[in-house]
Amino acid sequence: MRRIVRRPAIELPAEVSNRLPGVLQRVYARREIRSARELELGLAHLLPPGDLAGIDPATRLLAEALRRQHRICVVGDFDADGATSCALALRGLRAMGARRIGYLVPNRFEYGYGLSPELVDLAVREQDPDLIITVDNGISSLEGVAAARARGIGVLVTDHHLPGDALPAADAIVNPNLPGQAFGSRALAGVGVMFYVLAALRSHLRREDWFADEHLPEPRLDRLLDLVALGTVADVVPLDHNNRILVAQGLGRIRTGQGCPGIRALLEVAGRDPDRLVASDLGFAAGPRLNAAGRLTDMALGVECLLTDDPRRARSLAARLDGLNRERREIEARMTDEALALLDHLGDPVSGGQRPLGLCLMDGAWHQGVIGILASRLKERYQCPVVAFAPTGEGMLKGSGRSVPGLHLRDLLEAISRRHPGLVGKFGGHAMAAGLNLRAADFPRFREAFEAALAEALRDGLPDAEVASDGELTGAELNLDAARQLREAGPWGQGFPEPVFDGCFQVTGSRIVGERHVRFNLAHPDGGGPLEAIAFNGVAQGWEALDGATPRLAYRLDVNHWRGRERAQLVVEHVEP
C-alpha cells in the first residue's frame, strides 16, 4: 500500500548550485529552490510587518493600552502553538511596559476551543480586563468577541486559522489568511503572527519615543525567537522561506544557550542535547510534552514553564510535563490496542487483504484529549481516512479525524452536514485534519453517512500512499560528512521535508533494540564501508526475513551520537522487498 516515489527536480540556477556540495544540490533541486535568496536565513530577509493586514489598527490599540496601563488578558489555546503564542505575548508586552497583564488558557474539557462567552465571564471574574488579546484562536469566536465587546472590553484577535463566512466584530484582527491579504506568507503559525504584532508595535512605540519617555530599554525581540521556532515547528505549518528564517533563528538561540529555561528543560527531560538541536527535536521532543498538558489537564502548566526565568523551576515544571507525556503515551497505547481489537472483532479488512476506504470508531472509555493521536496512528497503519470518537458527557461525543492526500476531510464533513441536517454539531478543520461534535445516539447514523460520503468521494478508490524520495546515494556518499551537511542544511519540516533517499542494500545482520526498534547492519552494492541503520516503532515489520536479503529502503541519513562519538546512520522510513 506504500510505494517509494522520487520527487521531481528542477535545474538549480548557477548562483545556488555553485555554493553547494553535490548531495545538497540534488536535495535543493527537489525543494525547487530558484534563487540564492531562498537559502538566506538572516532576520534581514524576513517579510516586513507593515504588509500584514490589520497590523496598524492592532498596534494603535496596543499602544493605547500601554499608555493607559489597561488591564490586558491574553487568551491562548491548548496546544504548543497556543502556549508559545501566549508566553511570547506576555514576555513581549511586559518588555514594552505592560504592568497589568495576565492570561487564560481554556480547559478544553470545560470551555472548548477559542474565546467563548463563558470564557469571557471567567476573564471578567478573575482579571476584569480592559483588553483581551486572542493568540492562535479567535477568528471563529463570533459569540465570544461579541460578549466581550458588550461588556466594554476591547478585543484584538491574532490568529492564523482560516476564517469563516463572517468575521468577529473585534477592534482589530491580524491574520495572514484574511481575504485580500498582501502579506507574502499565509503559513505563519499563531506564534508567528504574534511575533509580527510585537515587531510592528515596537516600531510604532519607537516612533513615538515611548521607550525614552518611559525609561525603558528597547526590547530585543530576537531573544524571543526560541518560542517562535518551537510553536512554528510543533504546529506543523509549512516551512516556507519566511518560516524557515524564524525557525533557524530560534534554533540558533537555543543552541547557544540563549533560549528560555523552559525550552531547554523540556529538551533535557526528553534526552535531547540543546547544543545539537535540530527542528525535529522541537517537533518530536519539546512539542509533545507541551501538548500533553493541554490534552490531559490544563495548558497553564506549559505556559508557566515557558514564562519562568528560574532554571530550577523550569526543570521542575518540565519534569511534570514529561510525566504527563508518559501518561498520554500509556493512554494512547491502550486506546490503540482497543481500536485494533475492535477492528478485529468487526472483521479487520486489512487482515482479509482489503483496504478500507475509511474507519469510523468510538469507545465509551476513550479519552477525548487523545483521540486525535489515535486517529493519526490508525491512519498511518491503514493508509485511509479515520475518525475516532470519545464521550464528552451529557450524551455527546467529540470526534477527531485524519485524512490522506486526495480527500479533503473538512469538506467531507460539510457535505455530510448538508445531506443530513442536524446530524453533525460543530465541525471544523482543514484537508488533513478535522474535528466535530455528535450526539452519541447518532453515531451509527454518522458512520453510515461517513462511509457513503467516502464511497462517493473516492469512486476510484484510495490512491497508493507514497514515500517521497530524493533519489539514491552512492556508497561513497553515505558518510559522516554528508550526514552533517544534511543535518545542518535545514531547518526541515512541513512543506520543506527532511531529505529521504532510497536504494537497495544487503542486510548482513539485524536485531531488536528497545522492544519495538530494529537495528540493521547493511552493505551497499557499490562498496563503501559497512553501514548501520535503525528502523523505529515497527517500521520494519517482518524484519527477521530480511537477513541476507537485498530490500529497497527509504531512509534518512543522520548523525548518531553515542558515548561522545559521532557516526553516520541510516534511519529507515520504509522497506520494500
pLDDT of 529 reads 77
pLDDT tier for residue 346 given thresholds of 50, 70 and 90? low
Only one residue has cell 514576555, namely 91
pLDDT of 15 reads 94
Would you say 172 and 153 are in contact if contact means Cβ atoms under 8 Å apart? no
Write down the mean pLDDT value for the chain.
Answer: 93
pLDDT of 545 reads 77
Domain ranges of the chain: 50-323, 356-461, 470-576
Is residue 171 predicted with pLDDT exceeding 70? yes
The DSSP result for 261-327, as a single string, is: HHHHHHHHHTT--GGG--HHHIIIIIHHHHHHHHHHS-THHHHHHHH---HHHHHHHHHHHHHHHHH
The two most distant CA atoms of the chain are separated, in Å, by: 75
First to last CA, the chain: 13
Is residue 345 predicted with pLDDT exceeding 60? yes
pLDDT tier for residue 298 given thresholds of 50, 70 and 90? confident
- Burial, 105: exposed, middle or buried (Cβ in 10 Å; 0-12, 13-18, 19+)? buried
Of 364-373, 457-466, 484-493, give the lowest mean pLDDT range. Answer: 457-466
Is residue 164 predicted with pLDDT exceeding 90? no
pLDDT of 510 reads 86
Instruction: State pLDDT tens for residues 361-410.
Output: 999 999 999 999 999 999 988 889 999 999 999 999 999 999 998 899 98
Integer Cα distance of 464 and 384 in angstroms: 10
What phi-psi label fits residue 326: left (phi over 0), alpha (psi between -120 and 50 degrees) or beta? alpha
50-323 CATH pick, 3.90.1640.30, 1.20.120.80, 3.30.70.100, 3.40.630.30 = 3.90.1640.30
Is residue 560 predicted with pLDDT exceeding 60? yes
β partners of residue 229: none
45: Cβ contacts below 8 Å, ≥ 6 apart? 37, 241, 245
Is residue 225 predicted with pLDDT exceeding 80? yes
pLDDT tier for residue 354 given thresholds of 50, 70 and 90? low
Closest CA to 175 of 113, 164, 163: 163
pLDDT tier for residue 347 given thresholds of 50, 70 and 90? low
Of 161-165, 253-257, 447-451, 482-486, give the lowest mean pLDDT range. Answer: 161-165
- The edge-to-edge listing of strands for the beta sheet with 101-104 is 101-104, 72-75, 131-135, 154-158, 172-174
Instruction: State pLDDT tens for residues 396-442.
Output: 999 999 999 889 998 999 999 999 999 999 888 788 888 999 999 99
Instruction: State pLDDT tens for residues 44-75.
Output: 999 999 999 999 999 999 999 999 999 999 99
Is residue 112 predicted with pLDDT exceeding 90? no
DSSP H stretches of helix in 105-209 = 117-126, 142-150, 190-207
CA angle, 419 as apex, 444 and 408 as ends, to 5°?
A: 85
CATH topology of domain 356-461: Diaminopimelate Epimerase; Chain A, domain 1 (3.10.310)
Is residue 109 predicted with pLDDT exceeding 80? no
Query: Average pLDDT of 180-196?
Result: 95
pLDDT of 209 reads 97
pLDDT tier for residue 23 given thresholds of 50, 70 and 90? very high
Instruction: State pLDDT tens for residues 397-408.
Output: 999 999 998 899
CA angle, 30 as apex, 550 and 519 as ends, to 5°?
A: 30
Integer Cα distance of 170 and 561 in angstroms: 51
pLDDT of 350 reads 52
pLDDT of 1 reads 64
Give the pTM: 0.92
Is residue 479 predicted with pLDDT exceeding 70? yes
Query: Average pLDDT of 249-272?
Result: 96
pLDDT tier for residue 344 given thresholds of 50, 70 and 90? confident
User: Which cell is 198 given?
Assistant: 510585537
Domain 470-576 is found in CATH 1.10.357.10? no
